[in-house]
Chain A
Amino acid sequence: MSFPDFLRTDRTPKRVAVTSPRTAAARRARHPVTREIDEQTMVGEVYMSSLIRTQFRLALFVCTVLACVVCGLPLLFLLMPELRDLRLLGIPLPWVVLAGLIYPAFIVGAWLYIRQAERNERHFAELVERR
């Protein structure tokens, strides 16, 4: 009994490059956006300003939250003097916040920012490199 050809192991099959007949045509059909950016066409500029705007909005959002917290605290202590002497576990509230809790809050804020900024950049890269 003889095996059919495709089950025989003693003969290595010839290697063939697998290509799609349409690749070259598809490539020629549209410019990648990176080229639009390089040539500073209108399309390229639109992509670039959308990236800058997205990143700037994110930065502005973080700065606004930060400003509210940081500039709000003295205002809060000014307008509500009873907060200045409030105690948490025997420690005055201003000290709990300013000498302790605010530092981990900074780190969490920075971590969240980095996650979102990198996500924005990934989206941009996918958008631009799509053909």
Chain B
Amino acid sequence: MNTGYGVAGVVLVMLAAILIGAYGIRVARTTSDFYVASRTVSPLWNASAIGGEYLSAASFLGIAGLILTYGADMLWLPVGWTGGYLVLLVLVSAPLRRSGAYTLPDFAEARLESMVVRRLSSVLVVLIGWLYLMPQFQSAGVVLSTVTGAPSWAGGLLVAGVVAMNVLSGGMRSITFVQAFQYWLKLTALAVPLVFMLLAWHSRGAPGIAPGDMWAVPLHGREHPVYSTYSLILATFLGTMGLPHVLVRFYTNPDGRAARRTTLVVLSLLGAFYLMPALYGYLGHLYLPGLAGTDQVVLTLPGVLIGGIPGELLTALVTAGAFAAFMSTSSGLTVSVAGVIAQDILRGSVRSFRWATLMAVAVPFTLATGARLLPVADVVGLAFAVAASSFCPLLVLGIWWRRLTTVGAVAGLVVGGGLACAAVLVTIISGPHDGWAGALLAQPAAWTVPVSFAVMVVMSLLTPGRIPRDVARTMVRLHTPETLDVDRGDWRPRQA
């Protein structure tokens, strides 16, 4: 395969990121400047930015690969990653915006008036962020070595380096329009080749799914498919609300009402995007069944089905889209993780933000080169499971239940988050294991989420004296529409 076009695509995306980063320093000097400026951003732009940051390597490459490998059961992955926003909409979006929190630790502090809960949330944000970043860097390595034959760490180093540089210079900080553009770039990069491939598929007689092909039948593929399917559903639907880089975007809505509208648009944008991975998986099953077990189907299909110069150009487009996916998600995550490390773990100065950025990128990069290569969507799924077993109960109970106490929140975060993290570590380091133990560890959400909720509720009921003092005022703040003139208390998030 001629590598020239693919390399050109990657270089173009990287250059654009660096240029935008350098230019952005002048546009967005401080966090609050950005937040104030973004108050004029419409829900469509805001939602595109969320989509741009959210659609990672797992969505762009991983889902199609897993669908090709395991068949119909994996269709739940994109369904859950979209449906999670419906759960987020009804349970979290407007109250969270009204809380005024920039980050999850901010929310924990505002609601529970406790620095212990805040610190614990910070640790969890960092862990989830690292777990999410690691497979992005691994995929970057896979893509770059597919396109150019470079060693597998090179792609990860390239993405990690450019992201760190941009975050350090302050450029990529949170430019809504850049992230919004990334969504449309990714959509185009997947849709245009798909149109051509569907035409090619049509001209070859449009073969359908053969009757009796077990690949297309749900509840097959993996061991313990029923348990795994339900656990996957729970993790994805409840984990979305606990992702640190998604949450920060909700602050850029002017009010709770706009936050709801933005979520509705996000649902539409993601729904449109996630129609495509299933088709890639299906075409892969028809024409490239040998690629099962890898994340390469999206990159390889256009060249195989189209061929010639057009095929190479389409491959270059897909490659560029994949790098856009690595860059935008990694930037969003790095900013969130570095902000939390600098503010809550290193205590704040500009210098500590530099160290924090290095830590935010270096740790997952080291993990990425050291750990075994697992399918990217599986590892990201584990990050969702941790979020669903820690931040989901904290947010849901914090917003809707007055009797949540500091002790309850701490216990729930420690037990739920701890169990989920332990399962993730065992799976990544020594898995996959066989039998029931393996299924329970590979898809932990079905048991860690209920345990986390139960611990939080029981411990809160046992410690009624530890209900935060200003809970009534906080509830007014979370739930009354902004048009009402009521006292919402004077809590403000600390500036990064």
Contact = CB atoms under 8 A, between A and B. Distances in A.
Contacts of B267: 106-107, 110
B481 A62 contact: no
The A interface is mostly helix, strand or loop, or mixed, namely helix
Nearest to B260: A114
Contacts of B217: 84-85, 92, 94
Given A70-B79, A98-B218, A107-B267, 17 more contacts: A37-B487, A52-B475, A59-B91, A62-B86, A63-B90, A91-B209, A94-B217, A94-B218, A98-B79, A102-B83, A103-B79, A103-B272, A109-B86, A110-B86, A114-B261, A118-B260, A125-B484
Given A59-B91, A74-B226, A99-B75, A124 B219 contact: no
A77 B216 contact: no
A74 B229 contact: yes
A55 B91 CA distance: 9
Contact of A66 (B75, B83, B219): B83
A90 B85 CA distance: 31
29 contacts: A48-B472, A48-B475, A48-B476, A48-B479, A51-B479, A52-B479, A59-B400, A62-B86, A63-B90, A66-B87, A70-B233, A77-B218, A85-B211, A85-B217, A91-B208, A92-B217, A94-B216, A98-B79, A103-B82, A104-B271, A106-B267, A107-B267, A110-B85, A113-B86, A113-B90, A114-B89, A114-B260, A117-B94, A129-B484
Interface in B215-246: 216-219, 226, 229-230, 233, 237
The B interface is mostly helix, strand or loop, or mixed, namely helix
A61 B86 CA distance: 12
A86 B279 CA distance: 19
B261 A98 contact: no
Contacts of B82: 103, 106
A106 B83 contact: yes
B495 interface: no
A111 B263 CA distance: 10
B91 A63 contact: yes
A85 B333 CA distance: 41
A56 B337 CA distance: 31
A25 interface: no
Contacts of B472: 40, 45, 48
A107 B75 CA distance: 18
Contacts of B480: 37, 48, 51, 124
Contacts of B212: 85
Given A34-B485, A59-B90, A77-B218, A118 B226 contact: no
A110 B89 contact: yes
A41 B91 CA distance: 27
Interface of B: 72, 75-76, 79, 82-83, 85-87, 89-91, 94, 208-209, 211-212, 216-219, 226, 229-230, 233, 237, 257, 260-261, 263-264, 267-268, 271-272, 274-275, 278-279, 400, 472-473, 475-476, 479-481, 483-487
Interface of A: 34, 37-38, 40, 45, 48, 51-52, 55-56, 58-59, 62-63, 66, 70-71, 74, 77-78, 84-85, 90-92, 94-95, 98-100, 102-104, 106-107, 109-111, 113-114, 117-118, 121, 124-125, 128-129
Name the residue in B219, B263, B486 with the highest tally of chain A Cβ atoms < 10 Å from its Cβ.
B486
B264 A111 contact: yes
B228 to A, nearest CB: 10
A55 B89 CA distance: 12
Which 3 A-B pairs have CB atoms at the shortest separation, nearest pair first?
Answer: A103-B271, A99-B278, A98-B75
A71 to B, nearest CB: 7
Nearest to A35: B486
